[in-house]
Amino acid sequence: MKRKALFAVMLALGSSGQACSERGLSGAPAPALNEEKKVMTLRVRLGEGFQNNTVSVRVDGKQVYQRSGVSTDWTISRADAVDVHTAADSVQLEVSVDGGPPVAQAIAPARTPFVEVRSVNGELQLHALEQEPPML
């Protein structure tokens, strides 16, 4: 008798569409199997402290930027910038100057789509930001 009652409940839920909801357990829409992830832009801005340097930027091991003669324009506190398009939830950002050791940091582009890179006393600093820093 219990099996018949359970079967009746399952049948009722199945026919109403509630058992096969398009939403996951959290109530958020469940991703389709072949649904593509949203492509985001990560802007890496080279800011203060660059003086005729060779700068290399890698994302997940792939070189996305390399330029020599990079110098900060002190009127806007900016040397250069590169936009990286990614669908990944998190990327490993690596920046190096003049062939020195890279500074690396995990970045979540959906939360912090801007990264300010500064060279302070010969040391690189990466600052992941929610909003693009203003040019001074």
Residue pLDDT, tens place only, 2-46: 555 444 544 444 444 444 444 444 454 555 555 567 999 999 999
Residue 41 CB-density burial (10 A; 0-12 exposed, 13-18 middle, 19+ buried) = exposed
pTM of the predicted model over 0.75: no
Q: Tell me what the mean pLDDT of segment 73-84 comes to.
A: 95
Q: CA 64 to CA 58: how far, in whole Å? A: 6
Domain with CATH 2.60.40 in the chain: 40-129
For domain 40-129, the CATH architecture is: Sandwich (2.60)
SS3 98: coil
